[in-house]
Structure 1
Amino acid sequence: MKKAAVLAAAAALAGSASASRHGHRNVHRHLAKKDLSTGLATADVCVPTCTTIYSTIYGEATILPPAETPKPSPSPVPETTAAPAPPPSEPATVPTPIVTTCETTGVYTFPATTIVLTETVTTCGASTTQVPSGTHTLGGVTTIVETATEIVCPVATTSTAPNGVVTSFVTETTYVCPTPGTYTIAPITVTVTEPSATVAVPTLTTYEPGTYTAPAVTTTITETNYVYVCPFTSEGVPAPSEPTSAPEPAPQAIEVPKPEPVTSQAPPPPAKTSTPISSGGPKKLGGGKHWAMTYTPFREDGTCKTAAEVSSDVAAIAGAGFKTLRVYSTDCDTLPNVGAAARANGLRMIVGIFIGAPGCDNGNPTVAAQISALKEWKQWDLVDLCVVGNEALFNGFCSVDQLAGLIQHVRSELSSVGYTGPFTTTDVVSAWLNNDVQPICQAIDVVACNAHAYFNAGTLPKDAGKFVAGQLAIVEKICGKTGYIMETGWPKAGNCIGVACAGPEEQRTAIHSIEEEVGSKAVFFSFRDDPWKAPGACNCEQHWGCGDVFGA
């Protein structure tokens, strides 16, 4: 570690000028009494240091099959007109996001801040996630191994002193992976006693020498005790490396429903339009009341399905009237098996490059292997769209510049073997709102988002379609491009989140609502239930299979 600095901060997602995010609506009361630039109690602030601790951990870790799980989708809220002065922020010493608590609603102006680094700085930072009451395992480093092996990697973690002071620090860990599989190494465990809480998950970020600027921002805050984050951008230097450890996607926050319908809420102002890079331009996508379905070739125990099993599934999806399949990656012989079944049943394909915890760098061997698999397969006559990354911004796997660069790299690689179709990436709406995504807008041909109305506490199943349509309208305005929904659905089992309750009838009602409103531009999630997944805080992650709603 070259130079260590500490930020045991709650690096919450950045706010926007006219909409707040779902995960920030119920900031924990105890956070209001803490300095959110350090995460420490203001009455007894002890600035910790970043230390390196060497340890070896032996034993079993949780082996997780590769998965695509729905994430909370945000909903915008109306603006207000009050105009208090923003609370003062402490001068930053490293370009980690500046965190401010806006105690009242109104219009806030945050001044510009510039930091100049003359040497490489590694910080113990943090990202935040919203969790309900209970004990949660968060963060850590996720890695995939193909054989029994020993992994050595740095991780960010925390320790709590008897006086309650929390210290973030870096530890280099040696982990013995006893079998092939996907391992999450050295996560932290957090216990929440209140109904819901925003908790910080430690991360590692390295900044290269250069000038970093957090621009001046004027924004409307519509909630009390709202946590606003202003990120830095760099000038003439590489973007900071993504965290070595990333927090789990945020579970739902349980809220009292808002009286206003989602469709009446104000979208963000229109963004600058940009021209797609591809010379051929986007193909015509969508059509019909049920355009596409997500498909992952896994059995109930998480192992790979055979070609015959895949063929049976795809035939059922085609029989239900779908035109297109969306696949996330190239593992489990997805391209040859799903491709052959799609061709036999007259279906189109949306192919994908999956980005996980190793990050967004196009030198990442997992990403490189997927690019190679697509180049070798190259059955482009079946392919309508290529999606590079699924919620990579939301999960902290990529910076905006890294993701834009990777999309351009994939475009170059696939075009070299004949692919001329459109490219995109997909994320939850909060990720589109909370980042300066214009570099991504310039790199894609169409814009896409994942929108799950179930995670919005104020949405009844019958209104799911209106919610999803509203989410789509927001992202279309951000990039000034035609948009599509890459994941949407409703679980048939799980907890109630406000008025959003899971169940077979609720799923059927929600699916039909989405079908009527945006079915021609939506990819439904997912074909069958996934019993091999962890149930998640919502107890719903295994129960999104909706093929039977369509008769599949």
Structure 2
Amino acid sequence: MYILAMSAPEKTGSDALDALKNKVSQSTEALKQLIPAQPFVWSEPTPNFHSYAIAYLPLNKNGKCRRQSQITSDFASLEASGRVEAIRLFSTDCKVIPAYLDYLKKRDSKKRSVETSLKLVLGIEPSALEPSSGLDSEASSLELLTKSVDSQLMDIIDSLDESPSATEAFLRQLDLVVLGSEGLANQNYHPKELVQVLAHIRQRLDTLSSDIRIPVTTSEPLGIWDVLTPKERRDNVQDMLARKNGAKSLTAEDIEGPTGVFCDSVDVIGLSVSPYNNPNIDAAHAGSEVEESAYLASLLCNKPVLAMEVGWPSAGSDNGNAKSGKDEQLQAVSSITAAIERVSGKRLRSVLYQYFDDEWLSEDEDFARHYGLKRLF
């Protein structure tokens, strides 16, 4: 059967990894072999939507998984709001993929057009490898990362009907795959590993369907895209970059391998932006902060930018000029969704953060608990 073209990780994971090892060395020239030959072209944003996507965590107030029926209902409510084109998931936890498939089936039973359904921005989180794990070779690290990706992909495959039509229908709903969320900024893995795992996931997706190209990216702050960009590109925007406070925690040794190919390893730039973390920015100018960061990222990589996990808290401690509050949140979100791509003049795509408050977080997390936007939908 078509679905079995991608076997379980324990049977094919090592083979796929061996193929990558044979193809990839530590040199930039070898890593360049993993880059897609044709650039990805993103279609025009739908003008009548409030935002491209909204991040969704399928958790209740106590931090436990929501029921599948609740998740399905949440998706239907988001579609009915007419405010977003897609939902952004961070993982396959809480049986969120079966819930999404159930949402699609219920739409289909009502003969609703697939064109108006919520697309999926699927997050896959490679397992972090800490130095204390006892694995001191890069091969061991890459193997763990690859197996964790395969495991999550198999969760998805197991949720589908065993037919080519079901697989194809799901893949056509898959707008983007995001590998990791600030994993480089948090030093969970090395950039050269990420480039290789990005290539691995492309290979897996191509195995499922050679006719449907699904764009792939990662989500990192501007500072990471900065330090992983070739010097000649960085010099062109040096003065502007100097004004930004990105997370530049990587050393020259960390980035030696993929500096020249990191931008090329993704189809779109997944740019993590947190305007509330800038004490000089008030709610009315949140969109300007996002707009400038996206502009700099586009100059660095010369690719479309998706501003990811962009939000503003409705409560919690203030951060200089950045004041929390329900009115401020609405003002900030309105500013963010009005942001423009400065090069093209088109509306900037953004992923709003997020649908629910994280009430399950401890009180010490302060404003981080209050990014929920459900009341605005």
TM-score (norm 1): 0.48
AA partner of residue 290 (structure 1): S
CA contact (8 A) 2:42 2:304 kept: no
User: Which residue is equivalent to 1:457?
Assistant: 279
User: Which residue is equivalent to 1:542?
Assistant: 369
Q: Of 154, 162, 173, which residue of structure 2 is paired with 1:372?
A: 154
Helix, strand or coil for the counterpart of 2:359? coil
Pair 1:397 & 2:201 matched: no
Following TM superposition, by how much is the alpha carbon of 1:366 offset from its aligned partner in structure 2, in angstroms?
A: 3.1
CA contact (8 A) 2:54 2:88 kept: yes
Distance, in Å, in 2 between the alignment partners of 1:517 and 1:381 is 28
Following TM superposition, by how much is the alpha carbon of 1:442 offset from its aligned partner in structure 2, in angstroms?
A: 1.7
Question: Over residues 395-431 of structure 1, what are the superposed CA-to-partner deviations in whole Å (9 max), with x where a residue is unaligned?
Answer: 1012111111100001001110115211111111122
CA contact (8 A) 1:465 1:516 kept: yes
CA contact (8 A) 1:354 1:388 kept: yes
**Would the alpha carbon gap of residues 441 and 339 (structure 1) be closer, same or farther in structure 2, given more than 3 Å must change?**
farther
Distance, in Å, in 2 between the alignment partners of 1:278 and 1:296 is 34
Distance, in Å, in 2 between the alignment partners of 1:481 and 1:331 is 31
Pair 1:361 & 2:142 matched: yes
Q: Of 76, 79, 91, which residue of structure 2 is paired with 1:318?
A: 79
Distance, in Å, in 1 between the alignment partners of 2:181 and 2:274 is 14
Distance, in Å, in 2 between the alignment partners of 1:440 and 1:285 is 25
Following TM superposition, by how much is the alpha carbon of 1:390 offset from its aligned partner in structure 2, in angstroms?
A: 0.9
User: Which residue is equivalent to 1:290?
Assistant: 51
**Would the alpha carbon gap of residues 501 and 450 (structure 1) be closer, same or farther in structure 2, given more than 3 Å must change?**
same
Following TM superposition, by how much is the alpha carbon of 1:334 offset from its aligned partner in structure 2, in angstroms?
A: 1.6
User: Which residue is equivalent to 2:226?
Assistant: 433
**Would the alpha carbon gap of residues 490 and 352 (structure 1) be closer, same or farther in structure 2, given more than 3 Å must change?**
same
Helix, strand or coil for the counterpart of 2:94? coil
**Would the alpha carbon gap of residues 282 and 388 (structure 1) be closer, same or farther in structure 2, given more than 3 Å must change?**
farther
**Would the alpha carbon gap of residues 390 and 285 (structure 1) be closer, same or farther in structure 2, given more than 3 Å must change?**
farther
Question: Over residues 403-462 of structure 1, what are the superposed CA-to-partner deviations in whole Å (9 max), with x where a residue is unaligned?
Answer: 111000010011101152111111111221233443221211111111111000100100
Following TM superposition, by how much is the alpha carbon of 1:287 offset from its aligned partner in structure 2, in angstroms?
A: 2.9
Helix, strand or coil for the counterpart of 1:510? helix
Q: Of 206, 215, 224, which residue of structure 2 is paired with 1:422?
A: 215
Give the number of aligned pairs: 282
RMSD (CA atoms): 2.8
Q: Of 57, 68, 78, which residue of structure 2 is paired with 1:307?
A: 68
Q: Name stretches of at least 5 consecutive residues in structure 1 with no aligned partner.
A: 1-233, 240-273
CA contact (8 A) 2:124 2:179 kept: yes
Q: Of 69, 91, 97, which residue of structure 2 is paired with 1:335?
A: 97
More strand by share: 1
AA partner of residue 394 (structure 1): A
Helix, strand or coil for the counterpart of 1:412? helix
Distance, in Å, in 1 between the alignment partners of 2:94 and 2:122 is 14
Helix, strand or coil for the counterpart of 1:513? helix
More helix by share: 2
Following TM superposition, by how much is the alpha carbon of 1:520 offset from its aligned partner in structure 2, in angstroms?
A: 4.9
Helix, strand or coil for the counterpart of 1:498? coil
Distance, in Å, in 1 between the alignment partners of 2:299 and 2:348 is 19
**Would the alpha carbon gap of residues 308 and 328 (structure 1) be closer, same or farther in structure 2, given more than 3 Å must change?**
same
**Would the alpha carbon gap of residues 416 and 281 (structure 1) be closer, same or farther in structure 2, given more than 3 Å must change?**
same
Distance, in Å, in 2 between the alignment partners of 1:416 and 1:448 is 24
Question: Over residues 289-316 of structure 1, what are the superposed CA-to-partner deviations in whole Å (9 max), with x where a residue is unaligned?
Answer: 3221111211111111112101221122
Q: Of 201, 209, 213, which residue of structure 2 is paired with 1:410?
A: 201
CA contact (8 A) 2:61 2:360 kept: yes
User: Which residue is equivalent to 1:385?
Assistant: 176
User: Which residue is equivalent to 1:491?
Assistant: 313
Following TM superposition, by how much is the alpha carbon of 1:517 offset from its aligned partner in structure 2, in angstroms?
A: 1.5
CA contact (8 A) 2:34 2:196 kept: no
CA contact (8 A) 1:374 1:414 kept: no
AA partner of residue 541 (structure 1): A
TM-score (norm 2): 0.68
Helix, strand or coil for the counterpart of 1:414? helix
Following TM superposition, by how much is the alpha carbon of 1:533 offset from its aligned partner in structure 2, in angstroms?
A: 1.9
Helix, strand or coil for the counterpart of 1:496? coil
Of structures 1 and 2, the larger Rg is shown by 1
Following TM superposition, by how much is the alpha carbon of 1:341 offset from its aligned partner in structure 2, in angstroms?
A: 1.9
Distance, in Å, in 2 between the alignment partners of 1:449 and 1:469 is 11
Percent of aligned positions that are identical:
24
User: Which residue is equivalent to 1:474?
Assistant: 296
AA partner of residue 295 (structure 1): Y
AA partner of residue 368 (structure 2): E
**Would the alpha carbon gap of residues 362 and 342 (structure 1) be closer, same or farther in structure 2, given more than 3 Å must change?**
farther
